[in-house]
Each structure stands twice: as C-alpha cells, then as structure tokens.
Amino acid sequence: MIFISIIGGGPCGIYALSKFKEIFKNQNIVLFEKKNLLNNLQNMPNVLWYSPLKSLTYDIDDDNNTQPTTKTLIDYYKNWINTNSITFIKENIVDIKKNNNVYKIICESGNSFISKYIILSTGMYNNNNTLKINTNFNFISYYNEDFSLKNKNIVLIGSSYSAIDFIIKTLPYNKIYWVYRNNKPVDIENCEIGLNFKNIISKYSFNLQKFSNTNVIKFDDNQVYLSNKQILNNIDKCYILIGFNSVNSLNNKIGIKYTKNNYIQLDNNYHSNLKNIFVIGALANNKKNIWPGPIYINKGNLIMIETIARYIISNNF
C-alpha cells in the first residue's frame, strides 16, 4: 500500500515528493503524473519570469533576485530531478474512491493503487476563468499570448501579473488597449516586474491606452464593447487574462467542494472536505489567503508540506 500519493509532476509535486520522503523515511511515497515531469512548464513560452530565481528553486538559499527565463527553470529542475534520482508513475488518474480508511486510485489504463493519504498538486493553469459572455471569436484567446506579435491592435483584459508581463513584452511593438474592472491593476510597486513595467511605460506610453473601472459586455467581429459605452474597433487580437480556478474533472468526480469563487475549500492544514486528501501548490490558491503569501517553491509550498506532515504525524505516530 502507498502511504502518500502525490498527484501532479510539476515543480511543486516534485518538491513535495522529495520533502515527504525526507520526513517519512520508512514509508512508501509515490508521485503520479499523466504525461512527463514538468509537462506544463515545458509547454510555456521561453519568457522572462517576474518571480526571482531564489523563490522558484529548491535549494538556492542566497539572495539571487535574478529573473529566470522558462528555459533556465526547466534546465534547473531537470538537473535537480536527475541529481536526486526522482522517479514517478506515469498514469492518468481518472477517479479516486474511498475504501474504508484508504483510497483506491483508478487510472485510465485500468491499473489501480491503494493509498492512505493523497496530495493534489495538479496546478490550476489549465483552468482559465472566463467571461460570462460569448467569446467564441477567432481573434480572442485565453492565456495563449503570442509575445512575437508586432504592429497589431491588441485588447488586453485583466489586471494580474500576467497582464503586466504581457505589456512589458509586447508594448514596444504594438498598440494595446488595456481593460480592467478595478481602479488600478495589481500592486507592483515593490517588485522587479514593477520596475520593468515603469521603464516600458515611460518609453512607449503612446502605445498604451487604459480603460479602468469598466467591463467588456460584448464582442463582435474584431470589436470590443465596454460598459462605459466605448467601442474598440479594428482589433487584431484580444487576450483575456483574468486568472485561474481550481475546478477540474478529477476534483469534480471525487467530490471536492469549492468556494463561490471556485477555489477549493481548505482548512488550516490544507485539508479538503475529503478526509486525508490535501492540496498544495497553486491549486491551493484561496482568496482567504490561508497560505503564507505567494506559493513559491521554497517558501509557501514548503510551509504547506510541513503543515500537512505535522497533521499526518499527529494522526499516525
């Protein structure tokens, strides 16, 4: 029987496997991933990340505030995986059923496994928040930004770090109409991405037009209608970057409960509504901020892992 099953082979799942193996040395800890390790990361474009290297690595404890590229991170994680002989079971898990005091993990292949504890670390970056209007137009994309665009009229919807990052990388070459429903975008005053943003804005402000405190109420062919009664015409591309949620087919099937904002309901031990099923990483994102700040690999995520470990120890040993 497996003692702890970790579902999801991204950076957080890999880190959790290593840490749980350190804490529970004599127990069977297994990592499941349906494709390859780091699969989602390897599908991302090679861009400059706004998070510093020290927050995204497992074992760099210095004050390295360098902004890594996606390739830098992938190379680092791959080297770490090889150095630490990380192994995983390649299976697509389609259901998890409670069987007395343990869980039966059911795979698409027909294989099944028995596990006492389960850690969900499947990420949330394939689960886009969507506008509640018709967005089925060829010029509209959710989180599929093309940083190579040039000489285009672009509508950008959203005020998150992703939107800021998109502006930094594309504003010098395109006209951007930036639409967000709040008075101002995410707070970027005291971070590296904020400095980059200010530098770009100071040089290319003529390419950026802001529409704050407004919503998109309708799309038409290459047109965007705003609640302030303005219409944006001749739009080449529209990117909707309004965040992610924790809803996915596996969570739904096993009976995970969500908040009204589609975050997973968690207690202070990162315990879901299902006994002995926990959540870590970005999937544990919650507006109530029960996690300790940003879910970086070597900060928030480690605190999650140690909190779950203490709970398991108190109930087993």
Tell me what pLDDT residue 293 has: 53
Q: Is residue 43 part of a domain?
A: yes
CB 208 within 8 A of CB 194: no
Which token pair is 14? Answer: 């890999």
Are 231 and 195 part of one and the same domain? Answer: yes
Are 113 and 144 part of one and the same domain? Answer: no
Are 251 and 118 part of one and the same domain? Answer: yes
**Number of domains present in the structure of the chain:** 2
Residues in Cβ contact with 301 at an 8 Å cutoff, skipping those fewer than 6 apart: 12, 15, 16, 280, 281, 295
Are 266 and 293 part of one and the same domain? Answer: yes
Are 92 and 192 part of one and the same domain? Answer: no
Q: Is residue 270 part of a domain?
A: yes
Are 15 and 111 part of one and the same domain? Answer: yes
Choose the final residue of a domain: 200, 220, 240.
240
Choose the final residue of a domain: 183, 206, 240.
240
CB 301 within 8 A of CB 280: yes
Are 208 and 288 part of one and the same domain? Answer: no
pLDDT in tens, the chain (317 residues): 999 999 999 999 999 999 999 999 999 999 999 999 999 888 887 877 877 888 889 877 667 778 888 999 999 999 999 999 999 999 999 999 998 999 999 999 999 999 999 999 998 777 788 999 999 999 999 987 888 999 999 999 998 878 888 999 999 999 999 999 988 777 777 666 778 888 999 999 999 999 999 999 999 999 999 999 999 999 999 999 998 888 899 999 999 999 888 889 999 999 999 999 999 988 887 755 444 455 677 767 888 999 999 999 999 87
How many whole angstroms separate alpha carbon 107 and alpha carbon 111? 5
How many whole angstroms separate alpha carbon 53 and alpha carbon 163? 20
Q: Is residue 133 part of a domain?
A: no
Choose the final residue of a domain: 240, 275, 304.
240
How many whole angstroms separate alpha carbon 82 and alpha carbon 80? 5
Q: Is residue 199 part of a domain?
A: yes
Are 10 and 49 part of one and the same domain? Answer: yes
Are 249 and 206 part of one and the same domain? Answer: no
pTM of the entire structure? 0.85
Are 230 and 176 part of one and the same domain? Answer: yes
Phi first, then psi: give them for residue 103, nearest 5 degrees.
Answer: -120, 145
Tell me what pLDDT residue 61 has: 67
Q: Is residue 195 part of a domain?
A: yes
Q: Is residue 135 part of a domain?
A: no
Tell me what pLDDT residue 218 has: 97
- Where in the sequence is the domain holding 167, given as residue range(s)? 140-240
Are 145 and 256 part of one and the same domain? Answer: no
The CATH number linked to 235 is: 3.50.50.60
- Output the CA–CA distances (angstroms, integers) from residue 65 to 57, 77, 122, 192, in the order listed: 11, 18, 27, 8
Rounded to an integer, what is the distance from CA 82 to the centroid of its chain?
24
Complete DSSP assignment for 87-121: --EE--EEEEEEETTEEEEEETTS-EEEEEEEEE-
CB 101 within 8 A of CB 211: no
CB 150 within 8 A of CB 174: yes
Are 207 and 294 part of one and the same domain? Answer: no
